[in-house]
Structure 1
Amino acid sequence: MPLSRRVGLAVAIAGSAVASTVLPFTAHAESTVLYVDNAANCSDKGTGTQAQPFCTIQAAADVVEPGQTVDIVPNRYFFGQVTVKRSGQPGKPIVFRGGITISWPNTFVNAEGQGSADAHAFVLDGVHDVTVSGLNLNAPQEAVLVKDSTRISVDRTSITGGQSSTAPQESPNIRVTGTSANVTVSRSRIGASPVAGVAIDAGVTGAVVTTNYIAGTDGRGLLVTDAPGTVIVGNTFNHNCDGADLELAGNSAGATVENNILTKQHGCPTNATAVPLVVSAGSVQGTKVDYNTVVPLSQASASYSWGGTSYATPGEFRATGQGAHDNAVAPRLANGYTPIAAEGLTDAADPTAPGLLDTDLLGNEPVDHPNIANTAPTGYRDRGAVELQDWMRVSVRGVPYSQEGRPLNAQFTVDYSAGWTPGSAKLDFGDGSPSLTIEPGHQFIDHDYPAPGSYTATLTGTSLTGPSRTDTAQVTIAPVPEIRTQFWWSRDDQSRAQITVRPASVSPWPIARHIVDFGDGTAPAVSEGPSSTASITHEYGVGGSYTITSTVVDNHGRTASQTQTAGVPGPQAGVPFTGYFGGPTSHNGLFDNGTWALSYHKTDWRPNSVWGFGNPGDIPVVGNWDYTCQCQHAIYRPSTAAFDLSRTDGSISHVPFGNPGDLPAVGSWDRNGHDQVGIYRPSTAEFWVRHDDGSYTPLHFGNPGDVPIVGDWDGVHHSQFGVFRPAANPWEPNLFIFRHDDGSYSTVTYGNQGDLPVVGDWSGTGRTSYGIFRPANHQFTLNNSYAGRADNVYTIYNNYN
């Protein structure tokens, strides 16, 4: 049914701006708006532009003109009292406006602890046509003091005050005093005062207190003293335990008290005896009390005090000729002020009462509950400060959800609560496809869009009685990505020239086929259908370097290919080498037919670096040729008795030395910051050292058949000779023999027959240790006795995948 709204008390409300909802902080034309923001670029000496706002509210209050709005930035604290000294004009009020989020003010003005125990947050003394809205106010005295002022509106505020231990006396949260007239307090949350939430003092006329939540005071909720003609409509009084929720004292005749909820059942102590509604003998004349819900703490408590006589129930109170529609329905108030549907509260107020606003405490418009009869002859309004809303809710959220086989898909999260009179809900995907009927509850819905683009999905819920709710979600569907392919290959059986290729292709459409060409001239391997991503194993006839090509095909005919080069070792395990390639310790690797595979970690893992240098039959050599902190690689070719040294500038130095069949022995013979080459002749057990000037020095050491080793056995920062004597029988150990600078030597047994020697500083002690490489299982075992740690045992292979 249509709502018949009546603003009422036109004189009291005209020019007060309470008949329109206060909006959050927004930008306006520079000529009508002054900005306040205590950010770094503010200035109280400027003109309050948006580019350079005032730092304090007081600075704006000192210069504001009629019709101007002072926009105060939200989510910020401002400290100190604001004294309004300037007035607006009828129809052109001065407006102080903060921000409102989730129905409550989030701009804070705090006068507590600012050097004055009697400070207020806002003082309006001797001014007219001023509105204060959207502010969260706190002060040691009255947070808002209105004195000798006219056409003042305090709207959509949250107010606490008058309870500081340093204040000279206890005070209400809002006081309207002196000769003030036509002052409206509306849609505000007021509480926590030892005296009263709102006090209307003697001499005030035409005051309106409407649509407020007044709760938690230690004294009265609203105290009107010697102020005739006050309108008190549509408020919720709750938890005002030690005094009346609403008291008309002295001579406050001609008041209107309608559509209020007054209850003490929410949190008051059991011994609380205060009467919810008190009207003094001098205030009875011409006062109207009706359409209120009045609930004392207990049935034994009085609900009304009328002219000095107590009445326990609304039924008894009707004997006074008042309260014809009053009741004592227990108001179930979620969070203290939001009602739950109930006969006697919902659609049970007088829609023609003076002072009613178009929206409630939370900014909601009135709604007619379809299942509860309207009490008033015409129209519908709820009692209290909050209008009950149909709890039908719709919510939709959407995200692109591209997945294999469905690249244009989106997923929606949908919530639908049916509300008072269940109707239906439809989800329109915004692409011209048929809408989907949504059942009540929470669910996930997939939808495939026809093409890339931006779409707005709309969820609409419709009640059988007419109210509807909508929510939208925008999703952007990206273009279909290209098909991509990649693969990994590995040698699972290290004893064979065999690899396994593992395709890992990605396509927005289903993959139909993988084709793998192993690069050795054999027919490509083809796998079809859903299992086309399975691993494929291939064995080469001989080790070598092969180019593998993997091609993927999706069910839309699109293809993609990737190639990789695989170094597949032959049957030999490789020749170990050792050197410093960066870091504090030596590194190991394997040389195989001209391919170097270096491991940095000394753990079971594939080599970290692989490069090519040399030919089959060469012997790997590592040394510091170029006065650097790191070694360079080289090879010794026994067939031609020559070294090829790789230099840091990319050149190769060819150094002939020795005879065919000799073995390389490299070290710092001249002790001048780099290494020199040398050879060991196994047939005669002789070392031959070549110096930088081209001369050479021989040294006999070891026995024929020994293998040369070179290291810093004593930690003296230069090279010393040694030999490795392989075990002659399986039950015998290998023998390491180390020659020292004084000509003496020491020995150690380590490893078994078939092992190859490696020497290096494995743990950063500055002293060369020893170890072995076992070709049978590609295992290094490095002795760490010099560092007092267990031997390091790990496996690497001379392939690099």
Structure 2
Amino acid sequence: MRPTRATALLTAGLVTLLGAPAGAAAAAGAPADLYVNNQDGSNCSDTGAGTQAVPYCTISAAAKVVAPGQTVRIRPGRMYDEAVTITRSGEPNKPIGFVADAQPNANAYVQLANGRALTVSGASHVVLNKLITRSGLQIKGSSDVVLDQVYSRNGSLDSLAIGEGSSDVRVSRASLIGVRVDGGSRNTVFSRNQISGTFGPAIAAVDAPGTVITNNTLTGHCAATVSVTGGSTASGLYNNVLITGGDPGNCPVPDARNAVLVSKSAAAGTLADYNAVGADPKLYPAPYSWSGVTYKDVKAFQAATGQGAHDVSAESADKVSGYEGSLSVDSADATAPGVLLTDFSGKAMVDDPLVPNTGKNGGYLDRGATELQDGLTRVSMTVGPNHAPVGTEVEVEALSDSHWPTTMTYEVDFGDGSAPVVTRQGSAELASAKHTYGKPGDYVVKVTAVNGIGTKVSSQIPTKVTPVGPGTAVLTATQALPPAGDTEAHLPPLTYAFDASASVTPWPVARMEVDFGEGWYKRYEGTTTVQHTYERPGDYKATVKLVDTMGGTATTTRTVRVDYAPSGYVAVTPYRVQDTRTWGGFLKGGEPTVVAMPLDLKTGNSTAGGMSAVVLNVTLTEATQDTHLSVSPTREDRPATSNVNVRKGGTTSNTVTVPVDEHGWVWMRLNAGQAAMIVDFVGYYQPNAGEKFSPVAPTRLADTRTAGGALAGGSTRTVKVAGVNGIPVDAKAVAVNLTSTAATSDTYVIAYPDPAKRPVASNLNPEPGKDKSNQAVLPVGPNGTITLYNNAGSTHLIVDAVGYYGGDGSKALFTPAAPRRLADTRTTGKLAPGATTTVSGLPAGAIGAVLNLTATETTGAGYLTAYGFGSARPDASSLNTLPGLTVPNHVMTPVGDGKVSVFNSWGGSNHVITDLLGYFTQG
């Protein structure tokens, strides 16, 4: 049969569309491509020229200016929220194109948002490629239009409508639901499409002469699968797979359920052949309706009409679809009008050796939209042994999943520069090749399998060739840190990863034995990276012993220096994690008590799951005798340090910074007697999270004695802390020293960020006749403020800043320390009034320190001030001393040359005890 004009136009149109790859140079004198890109960072503008550097933001902007011979390249990714109407035309051999830009994903499609239709109206010589619309595609009064690899969904309506006298529209490799060609449209060609009807035909041609439907897979529901009616004369149906499916009882209106329906008015010159019909004859007893007459089967149809001479039918879709052994395989007419020799997925026609070639003239084109392929997708391989000394013979075995009995070629490249070994055998036979390596090294063995039609698949396996002789063990130890932004994993501090993969053993390692140097010994199969959490910082000798499959051993030992990792600070609104009074409990002297920290606390992009240390406010009350509390990260150690000192019957609190153990716990040990304990969670330090710190010399932010008056019971006071006195406006948290004086009753004070959300917590416990101080670390609230609340009576409050987190200038990360004593004047002599002592022992690179400063055996009321060694002493206090009382305070201070100065006021002499809780270094 001679090709129709529509067939010739289809072929020409697809060459125009697909012949030049994306990015190919334009022909001399051809206009430059236009670009559309609505992705973030694309620098797009609808008022520009649509270049690749400054693309259009919308497809519509390009559609308004595209000229003959130009291609609009549209970047896939984000949906285009626009209805697109194309009215401009190309010229013969100079179409205008709208295609998905091949970069960065050659298989990506351009998508229009729901409710946004695509229309070609009154245009000619237009190509559309790899476009998706969910609200329908319309071709109106247009000619020479190519739709290739378009996807369209439009609910229960036709997803593609071709009408208003359109001509020479070619639709190929498309996925559609419901297509209608009407309004006198001529010479429409459908080839290699997958189309399903909803409550209408898959394809309905009404008054559309010359409609050609070739090599499509079409599924009908509640109507004829293909309907050719009205004046749709001289049409053609060839090589299609026609499936009639669905339950007739679910269709809203009873209608013809034929696979093919050609009305009497459309039968003149209309031809059908080489179609495959799949329908259950019990549900759909009349697969054909031709010129007003229905036929119960293919034979009756052929005998009465002379059409469908090579049509076949089966009772199910599987037997006519493109599966191995189906009626469609190797049985089509490769010369039919509109034929494409590549299928829906772009694969070429191939000859299935398991099926006789029953196509026209002995051809092997498949019917329907797809072409059955060999199925060769992978080659499996083994290398044995893939770890052995030089001189060992290595054998490679390979087997492919090809299911056609063609001769397979296997090429084995051993990766050492030697010539590949090539073998040939049947697809189900195992290929084998042997080789002996001449020198040690890490090689990659690659197998490439090629079937009889040229399809290639490859696989590869790394292979280690080792020197002859004893092995060498290598062990590395690196600190394991929580990944930045990790919101799930709990990773304890002092966790280290041990890796022996760089070891070289003649034969594969059968087991690895690791002694971590603190009494832990573990055995593992093979060589693997393992983690171990140490209980405390220190130097440990870790040993690894490797035993290979032949019994050979290799051992090495290395010293691992274990310490806490520098960390950022995550501030939270303070909240209570324990109050022994709620259950009538108390701490007993000498008995360690655990307090669990909230590991699942989510703050922004991080959690406390990887925290290394916590900041707490700890309060003791109802003490049965004078005593003190020590806080530490371990149960067994009895610290020589102290954190909170309380008198019999009194109430006192102090801020505590302390590392956590591997469970996220901290341990409390009361020295003697009994006391109730309240613990408020203030924040935490975590590697790869939080904010950096900037220490400042104590700077006064507020003093109610000079402004505002005493804070009455039940009232609040807002204090500006960010954007003042050197603290940047964008600081995320502040560290302040709170001091109470002239209190009229026992009370408590809360410092918190949001004035509308007062937490259940406390920071300071003022008492009449006593100046008391405590440090607070808290987030910055609205407009750079914090809020102070006094519970009862009245008290004056003084607020001194000692540092800030985040914001401009923040620079230091915090390294926690297991609490240890730096200095104690009880061994060197009291600090006289007006005297200064120097505390050393801090790392040379420290720019700030977190200390617990304690004054005891005080002879007169006064204060202590801690500040960086070598810098000017500030006019502020770090703690207030009282005669006869032991007073501790959490102190954050700058450091100079690894030292801190502590000044004693002129109120009386003091013994001063300085405990280190951690230090800050340049981040």
- TM > 0.5 fold call: yes
Instruction: Measure, in 2, the Cα distance between the counterparts of 1:396 and 1:316.
Output: 51
Q: CA RMSD in A?
A: 5.7
Cα shift at 1:343:
4.3
Does residue 245 of the first structure (1) align with residue 225 of the second (2)? yes
Residue 110 of structure 1 is matched in structure 2 by 113
Partner of 1:37: 37
Query: What residue number does 1:76 align with?
Result: 78
Q: Is the 8 A contact 1:190 1:215 kept in 2?
A: yes
* 1:56 positional shift: 0.8
1:521-541 CA distance string (max 9 Å, x none): xxxxxxxxx9xxxxxxxxxxx
Q: How does 1:324-343 map to 2 (within 5 A)?
A: 324-330=309-315, 332-333=317-318, 339-343=322-326
| Partner of residue 336, structure 2 | 353
Match of 2:14, SS?
Answer: coil
Deviation of 1:361 after TM superposition, in Å, equals 0.9
1:746-777 CA distances to partner (integer Å, 9 max, x unpaired)? Answer: xxxxxxxxxxxxxx9x9xxxxxxxxxxxxxxx
- Residue 340 of structure 1 and its aligned partner are, at CA, apart by 1.0
Pair 1:564–1:63, CA change in 2 (3 A) = closer
2:142 counterpart of 1:149: yes
- The count of residues paired between Structure 1 and Structure 2 equals 542
| 1:508 paired residue number | 503
1:178 to partner: Cα distance: 2.6
Structure 2, unpaired ranges of 5+: 478-497, 508-524, 526-538, 562-589, 591-614, 620-629, 642-773, 776-819, 842-854, 865-881, 888-912, 916-923
C-alpha displacement at 1:369, in angstroms?
0.5
Q: Does 1:12 align with 2:9?
A: yes
- The CA distance in 2 between the partners of 1:92 and 1:245, in whole Å, is 36
**Cα distance in structure 1, aligned partners of 2:825 and 2:884:** 27
Deviation of 1:442 (Å): 13
Alignment of 1:159-174 (within 5 A): 159-161=152-154, 163=156, 172-174=158-160
SS at match of 1:363: coil
Match of 1:524 in 2: none
Q: Secondary structure at the match of 1:110?
A: coil
Equivalent residue for 1:668, pick from 842, 846, 857: 857
Bigger CA radius of gyration: 1
1:323 paired residue among 299, 308, 317:
308
Aligned amino acid, residue 71 of structure 1: R
Q: Tell whether the 8 Å contact from 2:131 to 2:149 is kept in structure 1 after alignment.
A: yes
Which residue matches 1:717?
A: 885
Q: Relative to 1, partners in 2 of residues 1:132 and 1:602: Cα closer, same or farther, differing over 3 Å?
A: closer
Q: State the secondary structure of the residue aligned to 2:334.
A: coil
- Pair 1:305 & 2:292 matched: no
Aligned to 2:132: 136
Report whether the alignment pairs 1:188 with 2:174. Answer: yes
Amino acid at match of 1:159: S
Q: 1:716 to 1:314 in 2, by over 3 A?
A: farther
AA at the equivalent of 1:177: G
Contact 2:204 2:227 in 1 (8 A): yes
Opposite residue 247 of structure 1, the aligned amino acid is S
C-alpha distance in structure 2 between counterparts of 1:24 and 1:477, whole Å: 42
CA distance 1:331–1:486, change in 2 (3 Å): closer
Code of the aligned partner of 1:329: A
Residue 369 (structure 1) aligned to one of 352, 356, 366: 352
- 3-state SS in 2 of match to 1:316: helix
CA contact (8 A) 2:39 2:77 kept: no
8 Å contact from structure 1 (residues 64, 86) kept in 2? yes
> CA 1:124–1:156 in 2, change beyond 3 Å: closer, same or farther?
same
Distance 1:405 1:383 in 2: 56
Report the secondary structure of 2:85's partner residue. Answer: strand
Q: For the Cα contact (< 8 Å) 1:345–1:383, is it kept in 2? A: yes
Residues 139 and 162 in structure 2, CA contact (< 8 A), matched pair in contact too: yes
Query: 1:382 is matched by which residue type in structure 2?
Result: D
Residue 671 of structure 1, CA deviation: 4.5
Tell whether 2:184 aligns with 1:220: no
TM score, norm. by length of structure 1: 0.56
> Structure 2 matches for 1:617-656, cutoff 5 A?
632-633=822-823, 648-650=838-840
TM-score after normalising by structure 2: 0.49
Alignment CA distance shift 1:386-1:452 (3 Å):
farther
The answer to whether the 8 Å contact 2:861/2:883 transfers is: no
Contact map agreement 1:208 1:230 (CA 8 A) in 2: yes
Q: Does the CA contact (< 8 Å) of 1:6 and 1:356 recur in 2?
A: no
Q: Is residue 321–residue 327 contact of structure 2 (8 Å, CA) maintained in 1?
A: no
Match of 1:158 among 151, 154, 160: 151
- Residues 6 and 467 of structure 1: is their aligned pair in 2 closer, same or farther, counting only changes over 3 Å? farther
| 1:390 aligns to 2:370 (yes or no) | no
**Could you tell me how far apart the structure 2 residues matched to 1:715 and 1:27 are?**
89
1:261, distance to aligned residue in structure 2 (A): 1.0
Aligned match of 1:256: 236
- Show the counterpart of 1:734: none
Cα contact 2:856–2:884 (8 A) shared by 1 = no
Separation in 1 of the partners of 2:396 and 2:885?
Answer: 71
Residue of structure 2 equivalent to 1:204: 185
Q: Which runs of 5+ in 1 are unaligned?
A: 115-120, 164-170, 192-196, 488-502, 513-529, 531-545, 566-575, 577-581, 587-597, 610-627, 652-665, 676-713, 720-759, 763-801
Residue in 2 aligned with 1:461?
A: 449
In 1, distance between residues paired with 2:84 and 2:288?
39
Partner of 1:731: none
Take 1:104 and 1:559, find their aligned partners in 2: how far apart are those partners?
52
**Paired AA for residue 133 in structure 2:** L
Aligned with 1:17: secondary structure? helix
Q: Which residue of 2 aligns with 1:276?
A: 259
| 1:99 Cα offset (Å) | 6.1
Give the distance between the partners of 1:479 and 1:671, measured in 2 at CA. 77
Is it true that 1:124 corresponds to 2:120 in the alignment? yes
Query: Secondary structure at the residue paired with 1:58?
Result: helix
Deviation (angstroms), 1:275: 1.1
Q: Relative to 1, partners in 2 of residues 1:67 and 1:294: Cα closer, same or farther, differing over 3 Å?
A: same
After superposing the two structures, state which structure 1 stretch, 264-273 or 320-329, moved more: 264-273
Q: CA deviation at 1:254?
A: 1.6
| Counterpart residue type for residue 717 of structure 1 | L
Q: 2: distance between equivalents of 1:381 and 1:395?
A: 27
Q: Cα offset for 1:249?
A: 0.7
Determine the C-alpha separation between the residues in 2 that align with 1:448 and 1:672: 88
Counterpart residue type for residue 36 of structure 1: V
Cα 1:508–1:717 change in 2 (3 A) is: same
Is 1:178 matched with 2:159?
no
1:560, CA displacement in angstroms? 7.3
2:856–2:885: 8 Å Cα contact kept in structure 1? no
| Structure 2 CA distance for aligned equivalents of residues 385 and 128 of structure 1 | 27
Matches of 2:415 and 2:246, distance apart in 1: 48
